[in-house]
Amino acid sequence: MNTTHLDPQRCRCHDTAPTTRQLVERLIARSEEALDHAQTAASHARTVTWSGSAAEHYRDTLSAAHAQAAGVREGLSATRRLAWG
């Protein structure tokens, strides 16, 4: 396909980009809300007085989930920047 004669102003992407951006933004907002709820639940769970190996495992699991959530937030932020240029 010879792309030297394509008119960028007639590209279909100009029609679909706004819809795609709106969808991406809605999904990002929902994801951020879910992460906020998870962080609140984890914060409350950390206040439970509990000891022993099960408690340690539980707290380690919460810490790992917190680190993963931070990575997801960074990914959402990067996606938002890419979608809006």
| In a domain? residue 16 | no
Q: Structural domain of residue 57, as residue ranges? A: 51-85
| Closest to 75 (Cα-Cα) out of 11, 8, 23, 27 | 27
CB 35 within 8 A of CB 69: yes
| In a domain? residue 55 | yes
| In a domain? residue 8 | no
> C-alpha 54: how far from its chain's center?
30
CB 43 within 8 A of CB 35: no
21 CB-side CA count, 13 A: 12
Cα separation of 32 and 25, whole Å?
10
| In a domain? residue 39 | no
Read off the pTM.
Answer: 0.68
Return the pLDDT at 2. Answer: 52
| In a domain? residue 65 | yes
| In a domain? residue 29 | no
| In a domain? residue 70 | yes
Return the pLDDT at 57. Answer: 92
Print pLDDT tens along the chain (85 aa).
Answer: 555 566 666 777 777 778 888 999 999 999 999 999 988 888 888 888 989 999 899 888 988 998 999 999 999 999 888 887 6
Number of domains composing the chain: 1
